[in-house]
Amino acid sequence: MPLGRSNCAAMEGWQSRLQAKILTAGVVGAFTGAVLSVLQQKRFFKHSLGTAASCMVCVGGFAACQETSRLLRCEDSAANSVVAGAATGALLLGLQRGRSASLPAAIVCSGAAGIGHLLYDTLQPVQMFQNWLVDNDLMDSPGMRQQPMVWRTERHPEPPTAESSEDTWGRAFGIKHLSDAEWEEHQRRRKAEFDQRLAKAGLAPGERMIQQRSRPNS
């Protein structure tokens, strides 16, 4: 099993891979043992811990052989899993059932390990699960975690100014924002149009207001 640092680029991160596989095997083994202990009416903690320990030993041995093969070949491929499956299966089943079971176990386990490696590379279940978490807003994407300031800028933009807000509402409802000079010009044109309507009605400016004030209430 590789120890310390190695010049092989394929060995980078081997400690974390080994630890993750053993920890995952322990969790899965404990859960499986708990379910089986309930179904088979066996002692809960003893059966759960025993199953977890067995899974950790099997997966730990497989992972150690796999990393050793990766170190010797300096390459990450399905061949490492095939070698590790054969070695682990032959050793464990040979110790349990005798030497006669070593060869069949090596053949079966090597084939299962190689197929599992190829399926993992093709399906990428961890990446699929991570994408599902991101799509359902249960997890930040790696890009957002690497650039938190950019993410915050995109998700929380600066509030718009008063002028830009008025322009936005004006475009939405067809309202134009007038300056003081434009407002005075608008009032002057309206007054001129009103005076023209009064002139057409035969009234001088101000006479209509006098008539309205002098009209008795009905």
Concatenating the DSSP letter of every residue in 130-162 gives HHHHHHTTSS--HHHHH-HHHHHHHHSPPPPPH
Average pLDDT over residues 119-143: 78
Residue 105's pLDDT band, with cuts at 50, 70 and 90, is: very high
pLDDT averaged over the chain?
Answer: 79
Contact 103, 90 (CB under 8 A): yes
Residue 25's pLDDT band, with cuts at 50, 70 and 90, is: very high
pLDDT value of residue 147: 46
pLDDT value of residue 216: 54
Structure tokens at 213: 């004030």
CA neighbor of 207 nearest in space, from 194, 217, 216, 218: 194
Average pLDDT over residues 122-131: 83
Residue type, 118: L
Q: In what helix (H) or strand (E) does residue 200 lie, and over which residues does it extend? A: helix 180-200
Highest mean pLDDT among 73-77, 154-158, 197-201: 73-77
Q: In what helix (H) or strand (E) does residue 141 lie, and over which residues does it extend? A: none
Q: What are phi and psi of 174, to 5 degrees?
A: 70, 30
Average pLDDT over residues 59-63: 94
Phi-psi region of 113 (alpha: psi -120 to 50; beta: other; left: phi over 0): alpha
pLDDT value of residue 39: 92
| C-alpha to C-alpha distance for 207 and 165, rounded to whole angstroms | 43
pLDDT at 55 over 60: yes
Residue 198's pLDDT band, with cuts at 50, 70 and 90, is: confident
pLDDT at 151 over 50: no
Q: Is 192 helix (H, G, I), strand (E, B) or coil?
A: helix
Least confident of 45-59, 88-102, 119-133, 136-150: 136-150
Count of residues making up the chain:
218
Average pLDDT over residues 103-132: 88
